[in-house]
Amino acid sequence: MPTRSDVLRELKLAPEWRLRRSANAASAAAAPPAPSPRDAVPGAADPAPRPRDGPAPADDGARLARIAALGWDAFAADVEACTACGLCRTRNRSVPGVGDVRAQWLLIGEAPGAEEDARGEPFVGQAGKLLDNMLAALGMNRRENVYIANVLKCRPPGNRTPEPIEVDACRPYLERQIALIRPALILALGKSSASLLLGTDASIASLRGRVHRFGDVPLVVTYHPAYLLRSLHEKAKAWEDLLLARRTLGAHSSDAGTPPGE
Ligand code: SF4
């Protein structure tokens, strides 16, 4: 039977990230501007548009009040029925989120890609495998003490960058998730997530490496895993960000590690 390492090597995600006690390797050269990260996510062709009801007004007060009162029992169904922006017409499945609803760690990406749209779960393509690998290096997994969500719950066609009107329409769902989970730490994966949560258009390079706050919740910014798949030299920085996040939670701060290939 193949080992986990065999599988990751086959997926070209090896060598695995491992914790070690020695000092961390130096970071790589300065970062170029990060393109839309999900462009790197392979998957099926865009789904054909499906006829649906037209979008409802994004600023509908009754809608906002309903979402603000949602519990987990109704959350996914409410997202699946949402027509508040035009993405409802092209999605196959909505992607509300996955994980431990009592998690300390809340990871927030940009939007579903093709595989996520087909399966209804965030980060299930190669970027998802890398994310799982990163979590495993910290002794974590996506089902325990971790919740993963996206800014947008439906896939933009062709993995294009989300439009501001779509982000605004979907924002109440993310805000409700944060309120329900009450995480101890938020890890923003990529620029769209960081921009929404921090209200800035600053680059990832300028935002990472320090602790921000979303309300009273500490927030750390790092690169989107899909971007890391094609920018291997940035993995060292992403690893530093994960260690910063863990230190922020006060766990095992003496450990240092190394990213794949270092
Ligand atoms: Fe609704 Fe968000 Fe999907 Fe737009 S992206 S249809 S606001 S759930």
Domains defined for the chain, CATH in brackets: 57-255 (3.40.470.10)
Position 50 scores a pLDDT of 40
Residues lining ligand 1, Cβ inside 6 A: 79, 82-85, 87-88, 94, 152-154, 166, 169-170
Q: Which residue CA neighbors atom 5 of ligand 1 most closely?
A: 154
Residue with the larger pLDDT of the pair 5 and 232 = 232
**67, 137 in Cβ contact below 8 A?**
no
Q: Which residue CA neighbors atom 7 of ligand 1 most closely?
A: 170
Which residue among 80, 95, 150, 154 has the greatest number of ligand 1 atoms within 8 angstroms of its CB, and so is best to mutate? 154
pTM of the prediction?
Answer: 0.78
Q: Which residue CA neighbors atom 2 of ligand 1 most closely?
A: 170
Nearest residue to 211 via CA among 192, 184, 231, 235: 184
Residue with the larger pLDDT of the pair 229 and 14 = 229
Q: Is the pLDDT of residue 1 over 90?
A: no
Banded pLDDT at 232 (limits 50, 70, 90): confident
Banded pLDDT at 22 (limits 50, 70, 90): very low
Mean pLDDT, residues 144-166: 95
CA–CA distance from 136 to each of 19, 33, 107, 142 (Å)?
Answer: 10, 28, 14, 9
